[in-house]
Amino acid sequence: MRVTALRERFSGLHSFFFHKWYFDEAIDTVVVRPFAFVGRFGRDVFERVVINGILVGGPTGVVRAGSAAVRAMQSGFLRYYAAFFLAGVAALGLYFLVAAS
C-alpha cells in the first residue's frame, strides 16, 4: 500500500496525529486566550479606572481643587489673613470644647 492510500484511508487519524493531537490548539484555547483577556482587562479597565483614576487622579484632583480655593482666597491683604487665622483658631477651640463635653 502506498503512503497516500494509507493517508486517504485513515484521514481522520492522520489529521489528528499531523496536528500533534491538537495540543497547541487546546493550550491556546484553555490558557493563552483567557490569560490574554485578563491581561487586556487589567490594562484597559483596571489600570485606567482604578489605578490612574482613583489612586493617582483622586488625590491630585483634591489637591488641585484645594489649591484653587486657596488661590481664590489670597488677596494680599494682611487683615484678611489674620481674620482667617483667628477663625481657624476659634473653630479649633470650639471643636475641643464640644468634644470634651
Report residue 17 CA to chain centroid gap: 44
481674620: which residue's cell? Answer: 83
In angstroms, the CA 94 to CA 85 distance is: 14
* Residue 1 binned pLDDT confidence (cut-offs 50, 70, 90): low
Which pTM was predicted? 0.47
* Residue 58 binned pLDDT confidence (cut-offs 50, 70, 90): confident
Write down the domain spans for the chain.
Answer: 3-75
User: So what's the pLDDT on residue 10?
Assistant: 84
